Amino acid sequence: MRVHRLAAWITLPVAVTLAVTACDTGGTSRTADSGNGIAVTIGIAEPEHLVPTDTVENNGFQVISALYTPLVRFDNTGKPVLDQAAAKSITTTDNKVWTVHLKDGFTFHNGQKVTADSYIKAWNYGAYGPNAQIGTDFFNRIQGYDAMQLTGGGGKPKASQLSGLKKIDDLTIQITLSAPFPEWEKVLGYNVFYPLPDAAFAADGTLVQAFEDNPVGDGPFEIKGSWNHNQSIDVAAYPNYPLTRPKVDEIDFKIYQDLDTMYSDLQAGDLDVSPQIPSDKLASAHKDLGDRLKETPSSVFSYISVPTYDKAYQNVNVRKAISMAIDRQQIIDTIFQGSYTPATSWVSPVVEGARDDTCGDACRYDPAKAKQMYTDADGPHRISLFYNEDGGHKEWVDAVCNQLDQNLGVQCTGAPVLQLTDLRQQARAHTLDGPLRGAWAFDYPSIEDYLTPIYRTGAASNDSQYSSSAFDQTMDQADRAPDEATAIKEYQHAEDLLAQDMPSIPMWFKQNIYGYSTSMKNVDMDLYANVDVMTLQRK
């Protein structure tokens, strides 16, 4: 699945509800050059990508979810809904063959009509192995995916199109999966399933090089100008959008290198929405912002991924000892002002099927037992804990290292990497020689989405390079279950295997903690840790 809705601030993966809002580099809200002048600025970090099938972190997702319309949205209970979505209906009789009927009236921002071909062509591009799209794994359930992948013998794949995709008519797509999968409607809500216009493709079927900096979508906002790297991405309301229109004319996503500068701009009135507050400012933020400091539920699960590919961490008792040496509650109380909940499982409590305490003793603070276990397992004397410097993680990473120093007798140091984009590249290459901070916001509300993308053998977000045939087989059984209830039970069995193998260390379940300027109202963030751009308003 998508590499974490890995945000620079949260590191996450991930189905989409409504979009995000932006900011401009000049200061507080300015008059938009197009529209009626209602512009909003929102802080983000530099995205890794803006191509839907290549966008698997939260900053890019926040931008493209304003530029495109998902096939599926979700209600507050996590159930798929088609209101304000691109699909008119999604049906199946056997969980293997699915029929998607598209709503009529959607056009891309260049005027081209959105049709079944717009989806099929985009999905074939994302699934084709030589295109090396990070989100390609999300197509692997569709019949014909394996034939589109490169083999060890070199040469081209056997096929360039998914055999399981069939155009019924201009507004109808038939999708045949390799095996039944009851959660497929939810998966279709993910951003890799957005359509692309003909203008995105060159004559040979590859993506036009300039498209990523000037993406053309079918959503409520269209890009204004182009991606100004490390500075801003501006979008304006699309006048021909067929569904509910946004309440602002322009969103300027202002790109920051650190949360402290973002928060300073918010206080100075030079930024309208800060989606996260620096941990060292949480204590004073209540006074600084008053009722403009908000907390809402989030699906974000924070964890530490441990490199099982590194000999120093291959003993499971080393990984469990590190977990038992961390006092999560103390860090939450002192650094996050008690706003988070210690994680004792690998699945966020906001999704159906989540359970408490699946981690058991390995997630209970027990420094004496941890020290003995670590010594017996001959754990490494030095630990580097990697994190992205642009995400505001230094304080809690240093706190974890201090605890490991004290409780395990090791020398632990935080290892900052300048930007999330750089950290993700190193994580995917498995070149890091120590644990890595991670966070996951679901791509769609399912227990499966906390397991497949992060822990299946070879999955795109499997930073630990964990590989377990027992886990993979249990996930296969869950995927083939005849109904969602049966599938959930099997996914729970797979999570129990994570408790045995400990490829990652659960840390905490996060809340959205954000602030906004005095000129804003109706500022909300969703379970994906995104600002809802459709309800956003100025006073």
308 lies in some domain: yes
262 lies in some domain: no
pLDDT value, residue 15: 32
pLDDT at 163 exceeding the cut of 90:
yes
Residue 22: pLDDT band (50, 70, 90) is very low
pLDDT value, residue 29: 30
Return the structure tokens found at 38: 């209602």
pLDDT value, residue 37: 66
The percent of residues above 90 in pLDDT, for the chain, comes to 86
181 lies in some domain: no
For residue 34, the 8-state DSSP code is: S
pLDDT value, residue 6: 42
pLDDT tens-digit profile of 285-301? 999 999 999 999 999 99
Range of the domain at 452: 298-511
263 lies in some domain: no
pLDDT value, residue 35: 40
pLDDT value, residue 18: 31
84 lies in some domain: no
pLDDT value, residue 21: 29
- In this structure, of 36-45, 209-218, 343-352, the range with the lowest mean pLDDT score is 36-45
pLDDT value, residue 17: 32
- In this structure, of 22-31, 115-124, 231-240, the range with the lowest mean pLDDT score is 22-31
Residue 222: pLDDT band (50, 70, 90) is very high
138 lies in some domain: no
* Rounded CA separation 457/503 (Å): 12
Residue 77: pLDDT band (50, 70, 90) is confident
| Burial (CB count within 10 angstroms: exposed 0-12, middle 13-18, buried 19+), residue 210 | exposed
Tokens 């996914």 locate to: 491
The percent of residues above 70 in pLDDT, for the chain, comes to 93
Torsion of CA 193, 197, 199, 200, to 10 degrees: 0
Contacts of 214 (CB under 8 A, 6+ apart): 223, 226, 227
pLDDT value, residue 2: 33
pLDDT tens-digit profile of 349-400? 999 999 999 999 999 999 999 999 999 999 999 999 999 988 889 999 999 9
CA angle 438, 441, 447 (to 5 degrees): 105
* Rounded CA separation 365/50 (Å): 41
pLDDT tens-digit profile of 463-513? 999 999 999 999 999 999 998 999 999 999 999 999 999 999 999 999 999
- How many domains is the chain built from? 1
User: How confident is the prediction for the chain on average, in pLDDT?
Assistant: 91
Mean pLDDT of 85-99: 97
Return the structure tokens found at 21: 């809002």
Of 110, 90, 86, 92, give the one whose Cα is nearest residue 100.
90
Mean pLDDT of 430-444: 94
Q: Which value, in Å, is the radius of gyration of the alpha carbons in the chain? A: 22
pLDDT tens-digit profile of 303-355? 999 999 999 999 999 999 999 999 999 999 999 999 999 999 999 999 999 99
Strands 382-388 and 411-417: parallel
CATH number at 497 reads 3.10.105.10
259 lies in some domain: no
447 lies in some domain: yes
* Rounded CA separation 363/493 (Å): 18
* Rounded CA separation 142/96 (Å): 9
Mean pLDDT of 120-147: 97
pLDDT value, residue 4: 44
CA angle 241, 246, 248 (to 5 degrees): 125
pLDDT at 525 exceeding the cut of 50:
yes
* Rounded CA separation 403/444 (Å): 35
Burial 50-78 (b: 16+ CB within 10 A, else e): bbbbbbbbbbbbbbbbbbbbbbbbbeeeb
pLDDT value, residue 246: 96
The model scores a pTM over 0.75: yes
pLDDT at 76 exceeding the cut of 90:
no
Mean pLDDT of 521-529: 92
- In this structure, of 2-6, 54-58, 269-273, the range with the lowest mean pLDDT score is 2-6
pLDDT value, residue 25: 27
Secondary element (H or E) of residue 455: helix 452-455
User: How much of the chain is in helix, strand and coil states, percent to nearest 5?
Assistant: 30, 20, 50
pLDDT at 28 exceeding the cut of 60:
no
Return the structure tokens found at 208: 């036009």
Of 327, 332, 323, give the one whose Cα is nearest residue 279.
332
